[in-house]
Amino acid sequence: MEITNEIKCVIWDLDHTLWDGVLTESEEVYLKPGIVDVIKTLDERGILHSISSKNNADQAMAKLQEFELDMYFLYPEINWNAKSHSIKHIQENLNLGMDSFLFVDDQDYELDEVQNTHPDIHCMHSHRYMELMDHPMLKPRFITVDSARRREMYQSESKRKQEEADYQGPTESFLATLKMKLFIYPAKEEDLKRAEELTVRTNQLNATGITFSYEELNRLRTSGNHKLLICELKDIYGSYGKIGLALIHKQEHAWVLEMMLMSCRVSSRGIGTVLLNYVMKEAKKEKKRLLANFRDTGKNRMMNISFRFAGFKEKETVSHNQYILEHPLENIPDYPDYIDVIISDGKEVSV
């Protein structure tokens, strides 16, 4: 198992992987030794779990409930379809890059089928499952409040998705029912562990793909010529956690947005645009030009679209995949009426 990036979700087979035995042949199956510790330890680190198993769904879920493990698995795919197909469903529901998944199975055929269909996924034979707790890509540098609650936040998001699917009416009307509040404030030292985690974990909505360490972020935060903003989102279902980050270099005549990123979990909420609007308003208030760095990483097309949609235009090409964008700071949109923005001084901004 050669893993070069951080794993965000482990997808498990069941028979002869999570437990010994074949469930459809006998109800007498037994959990693999130490498997509960593996699942719970990774969960506490903020690593998600799911299932791709060829099995009877009702029977398998009943067995997982009996073992008191059912709550750990998000969007389980228990059916008779090709596992590559099931894994694609899991990936779409979690909205994570395929290269952030690890698939564990006891059958070489299943591992090969998944690997050939999804070349970016990581695969591992189940006999090595006890190695997972010690693998460096499954040992994040920090365990933050957000990472420890990651599964719960995804479970809340699942409820939101179900409510949205059942809602009869336009999307913005549904979003208004969530009563969202976005808190934007200068990052404090206690936010920096989560800030580092965001730069490492966020791929699709990271404007440059650059990662920053705790120490680098703290130096920039206290430099006097940088502004490091962090944002947290809450709604009627609870907190999404700290989901966005912006690093602004305050130059003499311009502000340069050197980093802008947003958790994929809030991509459908328009939060990236709200944060950009806030930065635009602040730059205009300070009578500064607003520039932004963008580097095409091959994964962050969504962030490029967010910049263009917000009104940024290409000012300069630095290299074949790196650009400097600029916003004219004219006709800056108001915040959407389905969200309240609360800035660092506690003032609530209402439309």
**What percent of the chain has a predicted confidence (pLDDT) above 90?**
65
When comparing pLDDT for 105 and 348, which is higher? 105
- The pLDDT of 192-211, averaged and rounded, is 84
Which structural domain, as residue segments, surrounds residue 233? 169-349
Phi-psi region of 175 (alpha: psi -120 to 50; beta: other; left: phi over 0): alpha
Looking at the structure, tell me whether residues 59 and 175 fall in a common domain.
Answer: no
Which residue among 98, 115, 138 closes a domain? 138
> Do 217 and 81 sit in the same domain of this protein?
no
**What's residue 5's pLDDT?**
65
- The three state secondary structure string of 9-54 is EEEECCECCCEECCCCCCCCCEECCCHHHHHHHHHHCCCEEEEEEE
Domain for residue 245, yes or no? yes
- pLDDT digits 0-9 by tens, 264-290: 878 778 888 899 999 999 999 999 999
Both structure tokens of 151: 């599964």
- 350 pLDDT higher than 60: no
Residue 121: inside a domain: yes
122: pLDDT strictly greater than 90 = yes
* CATH code of residue 261: 3.40.630.30
Per-residue pLDDT, 6: 82
Q: What is the pLDDT, as a whole number, of residue 3? A: 35
Q: Give yes or no: residues 88 and 217 share one domain.
A: no
One domain, residues 208 and 315: yes
* pLDDT at residue 268, as a whole number: 77
- pLDDT exceeds 60 at position 1: no
pTM, full prediction: 0.76
Q: What is the CATH number of the domain that holds 23?
A: 3.40.50.1000
Nearest to 260 by CA among 300, 221, 299, 224: 300
Considering the domain boundaries, does residue 155 fall inside one?
no
Asked, for residue 336, whether it belongs to a domain, the answer is yes
Exposed / middle / buried, residue 222 (Cβ in 10 Å: 0-12, 13-18, 19+): exposed
One domain, residues 118 and 186: no
* Alpha carbons 180 and 269: distance in angstroms, whole number: 9
Q: Label residue 20 by pLDDT band (50, 70, 90).
A: very high
Q: What is the pLDDT of residue 95?
A: 86
What is d(CA 181, CA 183) in angstroms, rounded to the nearest whole number? 6
- The 10s digit of each residue's pLDDT in 43-59 is 999 999 999 999 999 99
One domain, residues 266 and 174: yes
Sheet holding 238-250, edge to edge: 313-319, 322-327, 289-295, 254-262, 238-250, 226-235, 180-186, 339-342, 348-349
Give the pLDDT score at 115: 97
Residue 161 maps to a domain: no
* 227 and 110 both lie in a single domain: no
User: Are both 195 and 124 inside the same structural domain?
Assistant: no
Say if residue 103 is in the same domain as residue 45.
yes
Largest CA distance in the chain: 73
* Band of residue 31 on the pLDDT scale cut at 50, 70, 90: very high
Give the tokens for residue 147.
Answer: 């990472």
Is 153 inside a domain boundary?
no
State the average pLDDT for the chain: 90
Mean pLDDT score, 83-91: 97
Residues 6+ apart with CB under 8 A from 25: none
3-state class (DSSP) for residue 258: strand
Instruction: Write the pLDDT tens digit of every residue in 126-183.
Output: 999 999 999 888 988 778 788 888 899 889 888 888 898 899 999 889 999 999 999 9
Same domain, 290 and 335: yes
Which helix (DSSP H) or strand (DSSP E) does residue 192 occupy? helix 192-201
Q: Which tokens belong to 184?
A: 């934007």
Question: What pLDDT score was predicted for residue 347?
Answer: 47
Per-residue pLDDT tens for 238-260?
Answer: 889 899 999 999 999 999 999 99
Report d(CA 143, CA 188) in Å as an integer: 17
**Would 148 be classed as within a structural domain?**
no
Say how many domains are in the chain: 2
Query: Is residue 14 domain-resident?
Result: yes
